[in-house]
Amino acid sequence: MKALRDGRHVPTKEHPEILDARMSCPESEWTVVDKELIDLDEGLQLILVDSMDDDMSHQIMVYKSAKHMWETIELIIEGTEDVKQNRLDILTLQYEAFKSLPGESITQVFERMNKLLNELSIHGKNYP
């Protein structure tokens, strides 16, 4: 969605004194399209806040655009690139050291292995 990719729409108008320059315009000069794009962003903000639990909602409410809210949610859930790489390293080590546990049924081993392979796949590493 454009609003999540590009951020909040800021209505602008041409600046007559400067070639190819634009400046923000007052609300009284907004077009119908400007108003629709701003309403879309505000609607997305409401959806994001309403779809989160209370803790997450309070963390993202302060932001003024749906894009900024979405980026914050991604960072909170997925972590930074370092965190993602560390998680992948840990999962890879778990895969390489995988073995059945004492008293574990074949079904339990399969379920644990399947869960590990799914986690690795989510983090971009696939094993045949």
For each successive 10 residues of the chain (128 residues), what is the average pLDDT? Answer: 78 71 81 90 92 91 92 86 89 96 96 96 87
Domain limits, the chain: 2-78, 81-122
CA nearest 36: which of 9, 60, 59, 64?
Answer: 9
Distance, in Å, from the CA atom of 87 to the CA atom of 90, rounded to the nearest integer, reads 5
Torsion of CA 111, 123, 96, 93, to 10 degrees: -110
Instruction: Provide CB contacts within 8 A for 113, sequence distance 6+.
Output: 98
pTM for this predicted structure: 0.60
